[in-house]
Amino acid sequence: MEIRVLRYFLETAREGNMTRAAERLFVSQPTMSKQIKELEKELGTKLFIRSNYSIHLTQAGMLLRERAEDILSLVDKTEAEFKSLEEINSGDIYVGAPESEAMGLFADIVCNLQKNYPKIRCNIYSGNMQDVCEKLDKGLLDFAIVMNYVDLNKYNYLPMSTEDRWGVIFRSDDALSKKKSFSISDLKYMPLICSKQWIDHELPDWFGYDLKDINIVATYNLPYNGAIMAKAGIGYAVMLDKLVHTDDGSDITFRPLKDVPKAEMYIIWRKYQTFTPVAELLIRELHKTFK
């Protein structure tokens, strides 16, 4: 399986049209078609369902697309790393992060680093903890910012000097806006909007495993979307503070949860990881900041 052919396959999957994919990669359509057919023969399965006007991925094609994206990302990252080995003042750093106030602190560190090394580029991948750690484990990321429930024994890490506060976001004209805070017991009687991550981790910790009375009416992946649902009156969004605008005059408001621990944040990287010169620069800044 050649890297070049994987690029042909991935571009065809993205375009849904082999002619357009060939044009984008500056190869002839017959060459593209031949290479894709040889790839299907090599794998022993059809990757596309072809029609007169478009092509669609088979189930095997969807699997290969997922793998090809990771493979090509790692190839491109590796090539970039070798190009930057001789240049300490330029190169790419890849960081995975959730939406968290801790990201602001990390951004300040990168900003200070770029003042001395303006050709350094920081690439941020946002996702949930599982996605971020999976990409870190595969070598697609250099660092990740995570919450404390990740198994830190697997990684080298530094605790970040910030803690995120849990709370509830809901309409400002709601009768409950008179309350200054909520407790865990209050949540048992409220229609909740929450993230899958919260369901998997905080929910069992806060309530134990007797969860049958918890009323989850909607879930979200991005806090902004959770806040939109809360603004529409669907329910009460459980999330970390300062991820969406809830200042005076906003249609939504934030009230803290007073009897739950704050979310501790860590920056992690793989054990025995070999860093590029620019990543080494960031490591030094991280150690100076989070002693």
Domain end point (choices 21, 38, 70): 70
Residues 119 and 148 in one domain: yes
- Token match 């409220």: residue? 190
Q: What is the pLDDT of residue 23?
A: 86
pLDDT tens digits, one per residue of 193-226 = 999 888 888 888 888 756 677 899 999 988 899 9
> Per residue in 143-171, pLDDT tens?
999 988 888 898 999 999 887 899 999 99
Is residue 75 a part of any domain in this protein? no
CB 21 within 8 A of CB 15: yes
Give 3-61 pLDDT, tens digit per residue. 888 888 888 888 888 888 888 888 888 888 888 888 888 888 998 888 777 788 888 88
pLDDT recorded at residue 194: 93
The span from the CA of 244 to the CA of 208, in Å, is 29
pLDDT confidence tier of residue 83, bands split at 50, 70 and 90: low
As a whole number, the mean pLDDT across the chain is: 87
Domain that holds residue 218: 166-261
Q: What's the confidence (pLDDT) of residue 156?
A: 92
Residue 77 lies in a domain: no
Same domain as 33, residue 119: no
Q: How large a percentage of the chain has pLDDT more than 70?
A: 96
Same domain membership, residue 270 and residue 135: yes
Domain boundary among 12, 40, 70: 70
- pLDDT above 90 for 235: yes
Note if the pTM is more than 0.75: no
Would 200 be classed as within a structural domain?
yes
